[in-house]
Amino acid sequence: MQTIEQISNLRGEINLWRQQGLKIAFVPTMGNLHQGHIALVEKAKLVADKVVASIFVNPMQFGATEDIGNYPRTMAADQEKLLTAGCDLLFTPTPAIIYPKGLDQQSYVEVPNVSQYYCGESRPGHFRGVTTVVCKLFNLVQPDIACFGLKDYQQVQVIQTMVEDLSMPIEIIAVETVRETSGLALSSRNNYLNKAEKNIAPALSQNLKWLAQAIRSNNDFVGLAQKAASNINIAGMKTDYIHICHARTLQPASIDDKELVILAAAHCGKARLIDNLRVTLA
C-alpha cells in the first residue's frame, strides 16, 4: 500500500490506473479506524479494481466549541489496518494542502434542506465542512465509487444529494453500521467513553429498537420519540435529539409514510454519539 501526501503524486498514480482502465473506489475517513471503517474498505475491494482511502481530520467540520486537537490520531495503526484490508493507496494530506488559502478564503459547497436539521442544527456549519472536503476529495481522487457508513445516516443523504445535484459521475454505496455485541454502533468517539459510560451507551440503540417496534402499532410519532428520549436520559445519557423521519427526505414522518428512519444523538460523558434505525411499515 502506498501512502501519499502530495496532490501531484496522488494524481499521478490515479492517472496510471485510469490509463489501464481500472475502476477506482474511494473511502474517505478521519482516521482512528475501527472495524466499521474496515468494512467500507472491504466493500470497496468487492466492487472496484483499486481502493483509495484518505485520512484527513477536517478542521472545517469542527465547530468553535469542538476540540479538534483532542480528536484521536492513530496513523501507524490505521496504516496497518488498511494494509491488511487490501487498500491500495492511502492519501494523507495536511490542512495546508487541502486549504492552502486558509478556511476563511476557501470556497465551499453547501447542500440545502437535508443538511439543515438534526446534526446540522446541533452542529452549525458541520455539514458544509463535510460536503466541501468530500467534494474536494472527489475531485482529487476521481473515483467511480465511494463508500460511506450508514451510522452517519444524515451524512450519507447529504453526500448523495450533493452528488446528484452537481451531476458527479460517482456511485455512492452505503454500508451497514457495524456494532459491538451490546448494540453500540462503532465510532471513533467511543474512545472518549470510560468503563461506566460504555455500559450506559447501549441505551441509545436499545431505545431505537423499542421505538421501531412501538411505531408499528402507534402513529403518535412525536409522543413516542419523546418517550424514547426520556428513557435515554433516565439511563444516564443526555438526549440531543431523536426524530422519526421519511427515510429519503429526512422530513418529519407523516402517518402515510412507509419508509422511515429514526435519527438520534445523545451525549454520554464527553462523547456525542449518533445512531439510527430504518423502519419499513406495512
Q: Give bridge partners of residue 280 from the DSSP assignment.
A: 259
Distances (CA, A) of 28 to 93, 130, 184: 12, 11, 22
Long-range CB contacts for residues 177-180, cutoff 8 Å, separation at least 24: 177/36, 177/149, 177/150, 177/151, 177/275, 177/276, 178/34, 178/35, 178/36, 178/39, 178/149, 178/151, 179/205
Q: Give bridge partners of residue 29 from the DSSP assignment.
A: 55
Look at the block and give the residue holding cell 451490546.
182
Active site residues: 37
Q: Give bridge partners of residue 146 from the DSSP assignment.
A: 26, 172
Residue 111 and residue 72 in contact, taking contact as beta carbons nearer than 8 Å: no
Sign of torsion over alpha carbons 55, 25, 128, 187: negative
**Cell output for 156:** 450519507
Distances (CA, A) of 84 to 35, 38, 68: 12, 9, 28
